[in-house]
Amino acid sequence: MTKFNVQQCPVCDGKDFSPFLTCSDFFVSGEEFQVKQCKGCGFKITENIDDEESISKYYQSDEYISHSNTTKGIVNFIYHHVRNFMLNRKMRLVKNVSGIKKGQILDVGTGTAFFLDKMNKSGWQVNGTEKSSGARNFAKKEFNLDISPSENLFRFKENSCDVITLWHVLEHIHQLNENMEMFVRLLKSTGRLIIAVPNFSSFDARHYKNFWAAYDVPRHIWHFAPEQMKRLGEKYGFKLSGLRTMPFDSFYVSMLSEKYKKSKLALFKGIFYGKISWLISLFKPEKCSSVIYIFEKI
């Protein structure tokens, strides 16, 4: 079986790395994975994971929420109620940063396509890509949306998108360089690229360390903070024009992290530490558990 190991940092092109953390796969396998950091820019990368063709086995869990619709358990129940609120928030964000009420949007890694359904009902022309055939089938059955396999990203028409969105997706993508190059080509000159990813410089990441749920190895290959995300965008011809917080992630990730620690009163501890993280992000949005980055073409 071929393993995926990165020898050159995709952010700064550095080739010197040092060990950072050893994290466990709490969802599926229980295996341990090493996360390394680039000595040049601090970017963090999960080592020795399965390649793109083989990694699907690590997504085979009913608890992997973005590819299922289960409400089993208190965390999943909360997640799905928060999702409905966030769908409206994301729609407003897209309209505000793009400056248009209706346009062409591409959602990369759309999962079960709840967001694209929301945009479609709002009058936008929608396209999406998704690796999971089960999620694509769900989107067709529930919303009558034809979602393309992930590899079809490279077949879309250049300069065709007003907005491209990735909601907690970029950290999963093996072909990071190729995808970033493609986003530049697909966006119109006035287009916007919106990327939401976990933030390893957040309070909750520092507090939970190797138990931080958003490391999510081996599914999360890349681990970002605002400095690295800004540099990555600039490398591929983007200017960071703004950032927004995902406040509920502070609570959700903290609750999951407490669960992974097998803490007593995990729910209440998760809410407590999640609230601290959330309060910090009110004054320092770049310290939120998850950050939304808004890019425009240079």
Contacts of 81 (CB under 8 A, 6+ apart): none
| Cα–Cα nearest to 238, from 193, 288, 177, 269 | 193
Contacts of 144 (CB under 8 A, 6+ apart): none
Architecture of domain 70-219+227-297: 3-Layer(aba) Sandwich (3.40)
C-alpha dist (Å) from residue 269 to 105, 259, 265 = 39, 10, 6
- Strand-pair category, 104-108 with 125-129: parallel
Reading the block at residue 175, the tokens are 């072909």
Whole-number Å distance between alpha carbons of 159 and 266:
48
Alpha helices in 59-195 (DSSP H): 74-98, 114-121, 133-143, 176-186
Domain ranges of the chain: 70-219+227-297
Contacts of 266 (CB under 8 A, 6+ apart): 255, 258, 259
- pLDDT (tens digit, 0 to 9) for every residue of the chain, 298 residues total? 689 999 999 999 999 999 999 999 999 999 999 999 999 999 999 999 999 989 999 988 665 545 445 555 555 666 667 778 889 999 999 999 999 999 999 999 999 999 999 999 999 999 999 999 999 999 999 999 999 999 999 999 999 999 999 999 999 999 999 999 999 999 999 999 999 999 999 999 999 999 999 999 999 999 999 999 999 999 999 999 999 999 999 999 999 999 999 999 999 999 999 999 999 999 999 999 999 999 999 8
Order of strands, edge to edge, in the sheet holding 32-38?
17-24, 32-38, 44-46, 222-223
Instruction: Give the predicted TM-score (pTM) of the model.
Output: 0.93
DSSP code of residue 210: G
Question: ω into residue 285 within 30 of 0, thus cis?
Answer: no
